[in-house]
Structure 1
Amino acid sequence: MSSSVAGTVSPTRQALRLVRRDRSARAGVVIVGLLILIAVAAPLPAVPERADRRAQ
């Protein structure tokens, strides 16, 4: 076991166990993941527009 005290479970393992078991927790993880993906990808379409304006 990786924990220092036998029988204890780390908060990370508890959260992962909840996500695996609970259907609404899985849905929440998917929604948060999609929002993060959208936030990361949002600036990408704007980059070529800025480059085009500088060239003119």
Structure 2
Amino acid sequence: MSCPICDGDTQQRYRPFCSRRCADRDLGKWLNGSYAVPSQRLDDVDGEADESEREPLRSH
């Protein structure tokens, strides 16, 4: 199996990655939105905010 980030040999400790660096790079891609899972919902449209984004923030 090869690392999905750099194509190097994987290490058991970081599997499926070869190192902590590649694992962190993958996590960073998820966190900044580089990876996305497509939605099958008909009401999902880019540019529309969901209800939680439309409501003003309230302090507790």
Answer whether TM exceeds 0.5 for this pair.
no
Higher Rg: 1
Which of the five TM-score ranges fits, normalised by the shorter chain?
0.3 to 0.5
Higher relative contact order (CA 8 A, sep 6+): 2
TM-score, structure 1 length as denominator? 0.35
